[in-house]
Amino acid sequence: MSSAQEKRTPHVVIVGAGLAGIAAAIALKTQLGFHNFTIYEKADAVGGTWRDNTYPGCGSDVPAHWYSLSTDLNPKWQSYYATQPELRAYWEELWHKHDLVRHTVLNSTVVNAEWSNDAQRYTVDIQDTRTGEKKQVEAEVMFYAIGGFQAPLYPKDLHGLESFKGESFHSARWRHDAVLRKKRVGVIGNGCSAAQLIPEIARDPTVQVVNFCRTPQWFVPRRNIQYPGWVQWMFAHVPFLLRWYRNLIMARSDLGFLIFRKDNKLLVKIARKFLSMYIRSKAPKEEADKLIPNYAPGCKRIIVDPGYLESLNQPNVSLRWDALDSIVENGIKMKTGEVIPLDVIIFSTGYSLEATQLDIRGSKGVTIKEYHQSKGGPMAYLGSCTPGFPNAYILLGPNVASGHASVIFSEESQINLAVQLIRPVVEGKAKSFEITDEATEKYNDWLQNRLQSSVWTDCVSYYQAGRDSKTRIIATFPGPVSLFWWFCRSPKWELFRGVGAEAWNRERKQRKLTKWALSTLLLGLALGLGLESWRSLIKRVVAERAQGMFI
């Protein structure tokens, strides 16, 4: 190895400047004091999901104080659930506050990365999205923070869009120039985005909305509260109040996981009953039966109702449950042959969760896609590390998401694990760490086994590979997110194959030994002091008894 190579400062590449990319960069700076990293973002701005989704009514369905970074609490959230503009502003503010602007290269897609066992680093191919120009950089460590809800999904079996004379777009790419006033608007899909946007566009009574639904959804009431100025002031100034409040929200929300276990029969039954009652109380009577699902609550993401059910009572909103045949020039043709005339079609049909942007070749010569194919779908250790891909960390990887909690919390847990594995690499004490096949298999056996008793096996959803109920569940973690955090709190080093890590392993063992010796000494001292005080107390009591004080 030449001296130039020996002196090289490790470089970390972060793919994606969404929430996870920004969070990973902040962790590198604040936890490791490490600055030699670059974030490549394919779009022309940061913010990921909250940059791309700008449809009316767009916002989070996890309380804002939890759907934000634990390291950067925000006392200024205006309400319990945050809106898209607020969320986008929060992440942009963090990007500036932590001086990440100079680490970020926008309009740059990471196309591919390839690991060299000799050099112990990745060669990363990057393409400028405006000029098409390509360049290569080297990276010892890679973070894939490319999200899961990036590519808008269109129904594969609905043909004829090219013949439609009106305007059409996906809710994730909202056309703000499209005029809906006095128009007949068809919204295909009734998931979270549709439920948020329909009440908003239907506020204008001249907009005639037809919502095309296939599968009913479960809803919970959205009790949104506005935080008055004095509460925001208290959050900002009263020590620990904001942290305490966030923890309370977190604990309460995480308990919600209990209804995702099929074995909790009574709880699932109660949830079903309560949620059915809620639908009946809000929706038009004639629609209620169709709106109540026959699968268990939670199998598909439960919608935190932003007023969708109530909006169905408006004369300008109607539902269609019958099957669609095709799109024709003036609307949508149903299987019955009926044509629903429309001026605008909005696809609110979700996202492709296939990680098409994840192109990486690892230490065994195979790509991550080939690895996933060999396993029958995406698979990783703690959703973060993949055997054969040293020093590469996938954020929001397989089985990380949850149906009831903040994705940011889970991604922070992953980052916490990764940062500990990266530390020796960036400090020059090890070259690489790679999770073993055995550890990954064992973890996934446990995971898949537990998933069998979850409600997610009860229906077809995007939680399954290829949205096929016969495949594995690849999106969700089968436990409360606090358990996921516990798993990620520190690496089990013995499950990782380290290269050039001998000195680090020695140092780590020495530290462990010192810690053990110190705690034993402290325990011994405490016990000794304790015994000594007991001894003197007993002595005193005996002496006092002898003096006849206790009779």
Ligand X SMILES: Cc1cc2nc3c(=O)[nH]c(=O)nc-3n(C[C@H](O)[C@H](O)[C@H](O)COP(=O)(O)OP(=O)(O)OC[C@H]3O[C@@H](n4cnc5c(N)ncnc54)[C@H](O)[C@@H]3O)c2cc1C
The residues that touch ligand X, with contacts defined as CB under 6 A, are 15-21, 40-43, 48-49, 53, 58, 60-62, 67, 109-110, 145-147, 149-150, 193, 357, 395-396, 406-407, 411
Residue by residue, what is the 3-state secondary structure of 129-168?
A: CCCCCEEEEEECEEEECCCCCCEECCCCCCECHHHCCCEE
From residue 392, alpha-carbon distances to 32, 263, 360, 395 in Å are 17, 36, 9, 10
Q: Which is nearer to ligand X, 330 or 352 (CB)?
A: 352
Q: Which is nearer to ligand X, 191 or 498 (CB)?
A: 191
Angle between helices 19-32 and 84-97 (to 10 degrees): 30
Per DSSP, the residues of 369-399 read HHHHHHTTS---BTTTB-TT-TTEEETT-TT
Q: Tell me the closest approach of the beta carbon of residue 528 to ligand X, in angstroms.
A: 50
Q: Tell me the closest approach of the beta carbon of residue 386 to ligand X, in angstroms.
A: 17
Q: Tell me the closest approach of the beta carbon of residue 350 to ligand X, in angstroms.
A: 9
CB 431 within 8 A of CB 120: yes
Q: Which is nearer to ligand X, 324 or 360 (CB)?
A: 360
Q: Which is nearer to ligand X, 111 or 340 (CB)?
A: 111
Q: Tell me the closest approach of the beta carbon of residue 20 to ligand X, in angstroms.
A: 4
- Report the DSSP pairing between strands 339-341 and 331-334: antiparallel
**Rounded distance between C-alpha atoms, residue 339 and residue 160, angstroms:** 13
Beta bridge partners of 522: none
- Report the DSSP pairing between strands 317-320 and 208-212: parallel
Q: Tell me the closest approach of the beta carbon of residue 145 to ligand X, in angstroms.
A: 5
- Report the DSSP pairing between strands 432-435 and 496-499: antiparallel
- Evaluated on CA atoms 470, 476, 480, 482, the torsion sign reads positive
**Amino acid in the structure at residue 132:** G
Q: Which is nearer to ligand X, 30 or 449 (CB)?
A: 30
Q: Which is nearer to ligand X, 222 or 320 (CB)?
A: 222
406 half-sphere exposure, CB direction, 13 A CA radius:
28
CB 392 within 8 A of CB 122: yes
**Rounded distance between C-alpha atoms, residue 91 and residue 513, angstroms:** 41
What length is written for the chain?
551
Number of H helices, E strands in the chain: 15, 23
Q: Tell me the closest approach of the beta carbon of residue 190 to ligand X, in angstroms.
A: 14
Q: Is 258 in a helix, a strand, or coil?
A: helix
Reference 443, options 408, 488, 404, 489; nearest CA is 488
- Evaluated on CA atoms 171, 172, 178, 181, the torsion sign reads positive
Q: Tell me the closest approach of the beta carbon of residue 414 to ligand X, in angstroms.
A: 10
Q: Which is nearer to ligand X, 292 or 473 (CB)?
A: 473
Tokens, residue 490: 């520190």
Distance from chain centroid for Cα 508: 31
Q: Which is nearer to ligand X, 17 or 465 (CB)?
A: 17
Q: Tell me the closest approach of the beta carbon of residue 393 to ligand X, in angstroms.
A: 12
Q: Tell me the closest approach of the beta carbon of residue 171 to ligand X, in angstroms.
A: 8
Q: Tell me the closest approach of the beta carbon of residue 380 to ligand X, in angstroms.
A: 14
Q: Which is nearer to ligand X, 50 or 212 (CB)?
A: 50
Q: Tell me the closest approach of the beta carbon of residue 1 to ligand X, in angstroms.
A: 31
Q: Which is nearer to ligand X, 170 or 183 (CB)?
A: 170
Q: Which is nearer to ligand X, 83 or 311 (CB)?
A: 83
